[in-house]
Amino acid sequence: MSENIEKTSKGKKLIFLGFVTISILFIMYSRYQDPELFTPQAFDTLQRIAYGFYITMIASLGAITYGMYLYHKTKVEKNQKGLSTIIALVTWNNKSRKIFLSVFIGYGVFFSLASGTLVYQPEVNFITHYGAEIPSGFVAPCCDAPGYMPKIIIYLTEHVGLQIVPINLILQIIVSYLVGLNVSLALVAYSVTKRGGGISTIGAATGLFIACPTCAGTFLSLFIGTASGIALSIALTQFQTLLIGISIPILVATPFMMAKKLQNPDGSCKIK
């Protein structure tokens, strides 16, 4: 029992430490976004800081991932009563894991396409317009709003590339994880009760569309025209973060709503 408590505590600490580190990282790096600091003499220094930013962020994401694994595993091993335990028990089996992983990757790819992380511009030749080498990539250390720098720009072909923005990357991982959790839990809930299926469908659909506000630019570009669609998508970039932030509490609450459908009167799980 004491070992399980220790694992739970360690998991929570790693999750907390990871998110706090990322928050501090964003705040500290925003101090280097003054265009006056971005001089030819300071470029190499800022680029090294940008590399350090991504190394630290990846390490923090690793700590969060391992912390959540420890927390999830301990909930299953302790098998106590409660909604969080039911969520852990239902999603711990191999079938649920495969569903989660498939949805996590699939939704992540969709999110990348819709949010502009994966860029496809058939009307623009990256070699001609930007003088890019194919393939190539670089880290742009300056200058934009907090959370949007440093960016990683990668040219894959003359018309396809990647634009990795820190805040979008973090939100993409969080939302993809929550949508994957919702779907894997929804399938089990639907098999137990039809009412559970209704709730799960609403949760997954809400996450799909609210978490992807830049889809508006994608769809409008079909009717307004390519140039106007791109301009609108750029105009919505800052507003995107707010809309995604709204979707996260919904996606967090939905698994607990579904877990209640799988809970016995005594608080235990209906599924053994």
What are the residue ranges spanned by the domains of the chain? 93-115+166-272
Torsion of CA 17, 176, 105, 166, to 10 degrees: -60
User: Do 90 and 182 meet the contact criterion of CB atoms below 8 Å apart?
Assistant: no
Per-residue pLDDT 10s for the chain (272 aa) are 555 556 667 888 999 999 999 999 999 998 888 777 777 777 888 889 999 999 999 999 999 999 999 998 888 888 777 888 888 888 888 888 888 999 899 888 888 877 778 888 888 888 888 888 888 888 888 888 888 889 898 999 888 888 888 988 898 898 889 888 888 888 777 766 554 444 444 444 444 444 343 344 444 443 433 334 334 444 445 566 666 767 788 888 888 888 887 777 776 776 66
* Whether this model's pTM surpasses 0.75: yes
User: Do 210 and 250 meet the contact criterion of CB atoms below 8 Å apart?
Assistant: yes
3-state secondary structure of 262: coil
pLDDT at 54: 94
Nearest CA to 73 out of 91, 57, 59, 56 is that of 91
Q: Which residues pair with 201 in a beta bridge?
A: none
pLDDT at 11: 85
Length of the chain in terms of residues written: 272
Upstream peptide bond of 150 is cis (omega within 30 degrees of 0): yes
User: Do 16 and 63 meet the contact criterion of CB atoms below 8 Å apart?
Assistant: no
pLDDT at 230: 38
3-state secondary structure of 163: strand
